[in-house]
Structure 1
């Protein structure tokens, strides 16, 4: 079973404050639908692309700033030394020292495609409506790239993983250059970080106008096979035979065997090694970015190493999956080295980037401008609802340092994160009331998005595409796709020890 994981800001329901004047609708460059077709490497990709409508607010700066957004796929905040973990990342630390680190960022859905759509639109997954079988979005509001391109920016993306290839995700909307085609090894469906960096630096060096560059790295994603010396850096004394390959870990991921504590520690060390190796490969890109360019580094989701859910991320609500890093360099008004407390979300990135770059935001964006709003002033509610393959509705909410998880097949649970950061000691005291409050906010928020959606056709995957997504766990071959929002009522797939031995969906 798969669960849709979302975070809803209270500002979404209450409004985002006083609206700025509406920007003129006349673009400074030809509209996206009249511009040359996207530039893809062969073979051409196909995806559903809704035609965007613009409802912009705010003025355009006289000298708009260029932007680089870096996504470190599957890099959880808790694994980073920056956030108290074991993985040393000196290049990310240097970036944080030159900019700002947000202490408690969260994702809104623990899956690559949907999280990146939220990152690029500033709306939550239920609004943009993306699902892997759609290979595109139902959302008619503009993406970051479409807004930037509308205002004369060069827009480019370099993709490191198969899950963001346009035929699988449809994220290319607004990008004039979307570099997503590369040879695929069935055992390791990623473009190496060094190659991603080289291509990103090359594209950036060719630009003579303001630009938006999106760079996606897939190296920390399962399987965990870091190169030397990172393969032994964090667990040099391990005496077992378990490695981080798919063949070795698949029985554990599928719940067919429970790993020992030593094995969990070893695999987590391999994961940390991948993250440190990735940090080293980031160095040429970070050095090449001019000082006046806004830089954002984040991730789509984390990874689970506990709660009887091993080496995976889809379908659970634990913080090791939902907490992601968020670093920014060049955010005006924030001193270098600042650490900003308060829960923020990926949904906040788009509006923040547009404000910092001097571009107008779309009225329908749910997120906040983190450069002008105190993140601690607006509590964050997070909700998890069904996606097209799920059969039960889960919800989680954070309020005042507490977290409540509500599910239809068990009493609501409340976690006091300050004293129980690993979410091991739940209580039912007050949980039901918190859950009902979050659900009411979420239901109200959904209504505000109805006029910004169109029906997206469910696209048949080719055998090659299906095999690739199944290998990564992004497609369940036993669950045929159904129209968005029509759940077939399948039982929960996340299995605890006491459940029947039905393997959960892998990812």
Structure 2
């Protein structure tokens, strides 16, 4: 009997914020391919998707477990995913799926336990390209270096490896697409992660209406985004010309990532492999000067947690309004249901099926260790930096369609989404009470959270990869 359950491809683009995409009505057409995919008869763009955290480790951990950060603890107080938590690929494997993982981020690798449950997992880096991608893909990349990178330079920070991940994903899909068993593939690519240095063909895509020349804008955006702790230490007080340059280069990087999305999608469509659900989303966003931040540090601002999500190949998703409030674990709940997961399995997850239930509040979280590490780095540049705008401690953000309620070390605060710098809890106490009541009730379901003492062990190549992405490594 032919298995009619869908193949599933989940594509994570690092650091993609919803409001900079074509689906959200942004004034630049940065994501025409994502918009094209979302316009299909079995597709939906979900522009009101809220990630669970503002950086990759806790966000990916939530996606790959179907639970909130304060449940799995990874990226909050755990370095490594606790063994007692069943992963999403383990659940798909139990259903008879082939499970495949590809990652261009060392925080999503065997070093953090996020490879668990994948029968075929590949962490990609320049140090292992020959072994992982193979000579054919590597040669194709090198021959097209000017199309996919900053040109001929030995500075790894100026190269975008998205093309290599796309080509390897296409190869894996071709390998598994003809099998009698369906497959679940999770791919985490560099996306629009800083530093903001687009490949050469995309460098001048959005510079016609800015003051600086393309070359000057590229240099400025690279410097500001690569040295983001320095900029945060100075409050990200960018001139209008510098802000224009950063915006144009971020948008160029986003447009390049979108091109790769289209290439992968078209490859899937060209194959005769039965029903396939294709999900493309951001693990989190990036701030581009708002809230005194560049990159993804400190805050749970909407520029960091409101991410685009497009679902293609799932007819029932068209019943959802585009502005439906959803989270990644909700989308994963739908996918497991389509794969035939039992009610008992689905009840162990913490999302909802948005086709059956309407979400009123979304929850994002930030750990104290993440905050303290960022403070330490900022203080190296400016011991007197004003960081009072940020909550310390473990921070919870409860977001509705209009407001965001925060709880951290200094208590509870309420912000309108159109002004996340002004606490309006005194003006709207009833709204604050509603958000607080949801959080305190839902916290009982979250439980105390899993904890382990396992230390993350990263190879020198993993540390170098993260350093090339601007992270300060020990």
8 Å Cα contact 1:412/1:431 also seen in 2: no
- In structure 2, the CA distance between the partners of 1:387 and 1:468, relative to structure 1 (3 Å rule), is farther
Q: Pick which of 239-248 and 148-157 moved more.
A: 239-248
- In structure 2, the CA distance between the partners of 1:356 and 1:191, relative to structure 1 (3 Å rule), is farther
2:222 is the counterpart of 1:245: yes
Could you state the TM-score of these two structures normalised by the residue count of structure 1? 0.72
Q: Distance in 2 between matches of 1:170 and 1:464?
A: 17
2:50 is the counterpart of 1:106: yes
Post-superposition Cα deviations, 1:259-316, rounded to whole Å, max 9, x if no partner, equal 2122112111111111111111222310122462011111111111233423211221
2:155 is the counterpart of 1:172: no
Q: How does 1:108-507 map to 2 (within 5 A)?
A: 108-131=52-75, 134-138=78-82, 140-167=84-111, 169-184=112-127, 187-188=156-157, 192-207=161-176, 208=179, 209-236=181-208, 237-239=210-212, 241=216, 242-246=219-223, 249-250=226-227, 253-256=231-234, 258-290=237-269, 292-335=275-318, 339-360=321-342, 361-373=345-357, 377-384=358-365, 386-388=367-369, 390=372, 391-399=392-400, 401-409=402-410, 412-415=413-416, 417=417, 421-423=418-420, 426-430=423-427, 434-435=431-432, 437-450=434-447, 453=450, 455-459=452-456, 461=458, 465-466=462-463, 468-469=465-466, 472=469
Q: Give the secondary-structure state (helix, strand or coil) at the position aligned to 1:105.
A: strand
Choose which of 30, 33, 37 in structure 2 pairs with 1:88: 30
- In structure 2, the CA distance between the partners of 1:289 and 1:357, relative to structure 1 (3 Å rule), is farther
- In structure 2, the CA distance between the partners of 1:342 and 1:270, relative to structure 1 (3 Å rule), is same
Equivalent pairs counted in the alignment come to 408
Choose which of 20, 36, 45 in structure 2 pairs with 1:79: 20
8 Å Cα contact 2:405/2:412 also seen in 1: no
Q: Distance in 2 between matches of 1:319 and 1:292?
A: 34
8 Å Cα contact 2:279/2:311 also seen in 1: yes
- In structure 2, the CA distance between the partners of 1:471 and 1:442, relative to structure 1 (3 Å rule), is farther
Post-superposition Cα deviations, 1:89-121, rounded to whole Å, max 9, x if no partner, equal 221111101111113111110011110111122
Q: Distance in 1 between matches of 2:354 and 2:321?
A: 12
Q: Give the secondary-structure state (helix, strand or coil) at the position aligned to 1:448.
A: helix
- In structure 2, the CA distance between the partners of 1:424 and 1:235, relative to structure 1 (3 Å rule), is farther
Post-superposition Cα deviations, 1:37-74, rounded to whole Å, max 9, x if no partner, equal xxxxxxxxxxxxxxxxxxxxxxxx96322101011111
**Superposition misfits of 4+ residues, deviation over 6 angstroms:** none
- In structure 2, the CA distance between the partners of 1:386 and 1:438, relative to structure 1 (3 Å rule), is farther
Q: Distance in 1 between matches of 2:287 and 2:448?
A: 36
8 Å Cα contact 2:70/2:365 also seen in 1: no
8 Å Cα contact 1:117/1:171 also seen in 2: yes
Gaps of 5+ in 2: 128-153, 373-391
| Per-residue deviation, 1:343 | 1.3
8 Å Cα contact 1:405/1:435 also seen in 2: no
Q: Give the secondary-structure state (helix, strand or coil) at the position aligned to 2:426.
A: coil
- In structure 2, the CA distance between the partners of 1:151 and 1:183, relative to structure 1 (3 Å rule), is same
Q: Distance in 2 between matches of 1:368 and 1:79?
A: 27
| Per-residue deviation, 1:183 | 1.6
Post-superposition Cα deviations, 1:347-371, rounded to whole Å, max 9, x if no partner, equal 2122111112333344221101123
Q: How does 1:7-86 map to 2 (within 5 A)?
A: 63-85=4-26, 86=28
8 Å Cα contact 1:128/1:139 also seen in 2: no
Q: Distance in 1 between matches of 2:122 and 2:105?
A: 11
Q: Pick which of 443-452 and 97-106 moved more.
A: 443-452
Could you state the TM-score of these two structures normalised by the residue count of structure 2? 0.76
8 Å Cα contact 1:122/1:350 also seen in 2: yes
Q: Give the secondary-structure state (helix, strand or coil) at the position aligned to 1:341.
A: coil
- In structure 2, the CA distance between the partners of 1:448 and 1:403, relative to structure 1 (3 Å rule), is closer
- Could you say which residue in structure 1 is the equivalent of 2:146? none
Q: Distance in 1 between matches of 2:88 and 2:426?
A: 42
